[in-house]
Amino acid sequence: MNYNNIKIGKGLLIIICLIWILGAKAQIVCADVEIVPNTSEHVDYVFDSFSKYIAGITYHGSAKVNVKVDDQAPPNPDCKWMLTMSVENNPSSGTGANQWEILSTYGAGSSSPAKIDILKVRVTNICNTSPIDGIYQNFTQTGDFIEIIENTGIRVNAGSCQKNVNGPGNYLINYDEFHFQIDFRIVPNFGFDPGVYQLQVKFALVEVP
């Protein structure tokens, strides 16, 4: 995308970069863990009116996470997994710990760069398996992470449609438990300098011996 050609006046354009992270290939208690498909996307927010600044913008299904966890042969009763979501703002570029990365600004603003905590995320699936299902969460600084499926040390088998299902299974057979929809909401209000900002949202699926 050529940001120089975007005309937003005093508006604030925020770009979210979604990055999918696979589980490590060398497993110990599971045969394989992966997010399918392993793709990257952009979700673009354009704030160009007072109503958008005040009410915010919500995109439902901004990310769809399909989980696939294969057991070993013979089955290993210790095969279980956790799923997390985290944010990064390219701190090596000098970005403040609690700010979005600045790609460009419009004019000399008297406010501050966009803060990470204006991004709200909500996780849902049909079985409500995530302990945070349906409840908007937010991050405060780069490196913060949220557990979608927690590492409790206790295995909850697929097919039970209970909280924190984390045993072997996949989104094709156990769709209601292994498919997650992620909604993104941003309500910037008027406290930030207009410009183009970017934040990376990463999903990580790993086995937990």
Among residues 119, 113, 111, the alpha carbon closest in space to that of 140 is found at 119
Those residues whose C-beta lies under 8 Å from the C-beta of residue 150, and which sit 6 or more positions away, are 82, 131, 164, 166
In the prediction, which pLDDT does 2 show? 40
Q: Which amino acid, residue 40?
A: S
Cα separation, 181 vs 62, whole angstroms: 8
Alpha helices in 125-188 (DSSP H): 175-178
In the prediction, which pLDDT does 125 show? 98
In the prediction, which pLDDT does 50 show? 85
Token reading at 26: 């060398």
In the prediction, which pLDDT does 177 show? 98
In the prediction, which pLDDT does 1 show? 41
In the prediction, which pLDDT does 8 show? 41
In the prediction, which pLDDT does 23 show? 61
Those residues whose C-beta lies under 8 Å from the C-beta of residue 56, and which sit 6 or more positions away, are 185, 186, 187, 188
Among residues 69, 97, 98, 93, the alpha carbon closest in space to that of 81 is found at 69
The ranges of the chain with pLDDT < 70 are 1-11, 22-26, 38-39, 107-110
In the prediction, which pLDDT does 43 show? 87
Cα separation, 206 vs 209, whole angstroms: 10
Residue with tokens 């999918």: 20
Element (H, E) at 50: helix 50-55
Among residues 67, 6, 62, the alpha carbon closest in space to that of 35 is found at 67
In the prediction, which pLDDT does 26 show? 67
Q: Where are the domains of the chain?
A: 3-207
Q: Which residues pair with 105 in a beta bridge?
A: 195
In the prediction, which pLDDT does 80 show? 97
Spatial contact of 191 and 77, defined as CB atoms under 8 Å apart: no
3-class secondary structure, 139: coil
